[in-house]
Amino acid sequence: MGRATMTEPTPACVRGCTHSALTDGGEEFRERNAATMGHLCAGCAKRLHKWIVGIPDLYAILDPRKDAGKDPYAPTRRGKISGSPALVRLDVVALQDRRTNARARFNEPGDENMLGGDVPSLMLSWAECLSDDLDLTGRPDSLASAVALLAGPWYPNLCYRPWVDELYTEVEKIHRTLKGLNHVGGPRPLGTCECGQRLYEPDPQPGREQIIECRNCGHRLDGLALVRLAAAQKMRDAG
């Protein structure tokens, strides 16, 4: 008679993602998503790959000209006019110039969107980390080659790196910042959940009640709670 063996439990996604599940007694609870690709769940692995692949195109259309990328629907603010106003968009220049550290006017102290360098340098540094970990020959020397390495055949190996959680956070910031500067459409932020997770507007579903469920803690908001959350976000945007 063979000896029974115990199997190790599947590790959870390093991002802390959860999904709704039921106990044997029918009670609902939040269960951690399994890490199915390295340290990430399937959803996080898919999102990270999509963000990395999309960065070169978003970076290529950045325009530092003063009026470029201006949102025609954004509310205008009137204030004091500087004696020597910038002739270019400093927030864009900061992401393109390797002599800067990307701490432009849109990055206030403590801003969660704060980046630590220009986009090519940031992506090249992560590509270097992967090259070092896997002892690869040849080194990327451009944004395109860095992305090709990170999102190419070595991508599954990337998801097993112990620093993939840190990479995920920074790539998400880069992708979101580039989309914001280019005014590329996407879900608008509604605010943050009590657990700190950022929440976004739900997709419109005619005839159905709008509901947001935090993917981190499972907290659900609908009706008046969504109205209050949106109102608070508008107050923050207005300064």
Write the DSSP string, 189-239: EEEE-TTS-EEEPPPP-TTS--EEE-TTT--EEETHHHHHHHHHHHHHHH-
Q: What is the per-residue pLDDT for 112?
A: 45
Q: What is the per-residue pLDDT for 90?
A: 63
Query: Which residues have a Cβ under 8 Å from the Cβ of 92 and sit 6 or more positions away?
Result: 62, 63, 64, 68, 69, 181
Q: What is the per-residue pLDDT for 110?
A: 43
- Per the DSSP assignment, residues forming a β-bridge with 20 are 30
Q: What is the per-residue pLDDT for 78?
A: 43
Specify burial of residue 149 (Cβ count, 10 A radius: 0-12, 13-18, 19+). Answer: buried
What is the number of other CB atoms lying within 10 angstroms of the CB of residue 120? 21
Give residue-wise pLDDT tens across range 75-95.
444 444 454 455 666 666 666
Q: What is the per-residue pLDDT for 153?
A: 96
Q: What is the per-residue pLDDT for 163?
A: 97
Residues of the chain with pLDDT under 70: 1-8, 65-116, 184-189, 201-209, 215, 233-239
- Per the DSSP assignment, residues forming a β-bridge with 34 are 12
Give residue for tokens 């106990």: 23
Q: What is the per-residue pLDDT for 108?
A: 41
Is the distance from CB of 140 to CB of 121 less than 8 angstroms?
no
Please report how the helices 164-182 and 119-134 are oriented relative to each other, as an axis angle in degrees rounded to 10.
160
The Cα–Cα gap between 149 and 131 comes to 9
Count of residues making up the chain? 239
Is the distance from CB of 171 to CB of 151 less than 8 angstroms?
no
Closest CA to 30 of 46, 12, 48, 42: 12
